[in-house]
Amino acid sequence: MTTEAVSGSATAVAHPSLAMIKYWGKQDTTENIPATPSLAVTLDGLDTTTHVVLYPSEASGSPSDIVKIDGVSQPIQRYKGFFDAFRRLASENGIDLTRWWFMAESSSNFPSAAGLASSASGFAALVLACAGASGLGDVPDTRDLSAVARVGSASAARSLWGGFTQLNAGAKSAAPVKDASWWPNLRIIVAEVEKGPKSISSRMAMESTRLHSPYYKAWLEDSSILFRQAMAGLESRDLSILGPAIRKSYMRMFATMFASDPPIVYWKPGSLSLINACEKIRGDGIQAWETMDAGPQVKVFCLDENTEAISRRLQMALPGVNLRICTVGGAPVLRNG
């Protein structure tokens, strides 16, 4: 038994989910089911804020849901699967949204679509704000919201929790592993190498790798081994165990892309300068383990006491690079209205 929705609005704030062990490749492309297990940390200090208004479709004058990022309307086709999945979830929870549209406006305090996981924080904030605006509030289980966010972007499934989260290969929703207080002196230095949007979307790049990289099969086989190593490092809060797994994961992910035909290269000269700097820092006995995503930015895992020294050396390696020091972030929050 479902009841008709009523007008409402809500605002949600979510943080990006930075993968230490990477998801790259899908078992199912429409449903965004990951082919590799990923283990991620939620980043404090990087925020996406999304405001959603629900309004009756006849009164709207609009032919569809609307999503704006930094005031710019987005192609709604990109969001169709997400909104379909959300309407199904609402209906399962007794609310009929078939005659209602969502109008979402989103902005982040960091660049979008530049390899800083804005799609993770974006879809996590969107699903939570949609739930608030539809009057679902706390009713659906976080795992259900995670499953809807996944349809938008699989990494977003992880951003529904703070702390450390995992998304298994073949999974529909992510799961919390450790909360934000688990590793108080862990820091992540986010180095913004370039601001512009990425050259190719992660969605297209993943598919191209799956279809055209001879290393893809090896990547799939290897990813669960790295996942287990990283879990052991996280469990023991030991960067000398976690760090090497983090490094292997991103290096092997990019190896599949470099070997794809045509090759996919997100790296820029500045990215390589920072990778080399991290190697030298480690050579001096300081734990500094870098990772990268679908873009040129470099993120470095380290301990609080070494943050200043590492930041100085990254600045020397790439003068003028913008650095943000992040701690482990909390869960997204919802504000009604």
Contact footprint for ligand PMV (CB under 6 A): 19, 22-24, 38, 117, 119, 153-155, 202-203, 293-294
Q: Which CB sits closer to ligand PMV, 32 or 134?
A: 32
Q: Which CB sits closer to ligand PMV, 156 or 323?
A: 156
Q: Minimum distance from CB of 155 to ligand PMV (Å)? A: 3
3-state secondary structure of 240: helix
Q: Which CB sits closer to ligand PMV, 38 or 112?
A: 38
CB atoms within 10 A of CB 259: 17
Q: Minimum distance from CB of 9 to ligand PMV (Å)? A: 27
Phi/psi for 34 (5° steps) reads -70, 150
Handedness of CA 248, 43, 200, 76 (dihedral sign): positive
Q: Minimum distance from CB of 306 to ligand PMV (Å)? A: 25
Measuring CA to CA, which residue among 168, 166, 174, 169 is closest to residue 148?
174
- Beta bridge partners of residue 300, listed in sequence order: 189, 290
Instruction: Report the relative pairing of strands 3-4 and 95-96 from DSSP bridges.
Output: parallel
Q: Minimum distance from CB of 202 to ligand PMV (Å)? A: 4
How far is it, in rounded angstroms, from Cα 283 to Cα 278? Answer: 8
| DSSP structural state of residue 43 | B
CA-to-CA dists, residue 223 to 2, 24, 86, 296, angstroms = 43, 10, 30, 22
How far is it, in rounded angstroms, from Cα 285 to Cα 291? Answer: 19
Q: Which CB sits closer to ligand PMV, 153 or 287?
A: 153
How far is it, in rounded angstroms, from Cα 123 to Cα 228? Answer: 27
Q: Minimum distance from CB of 200 to ligand PMV (Å)? A: 12
Q: Which CB sits closer to ligand PMV, 229 or 307?
A: 229
Q: Which CB sits closer to ligand PMV, 55 or 250?
A: 250
Q: Minimum distance from CB of 196 to ligand PMV (Å)? A: 17
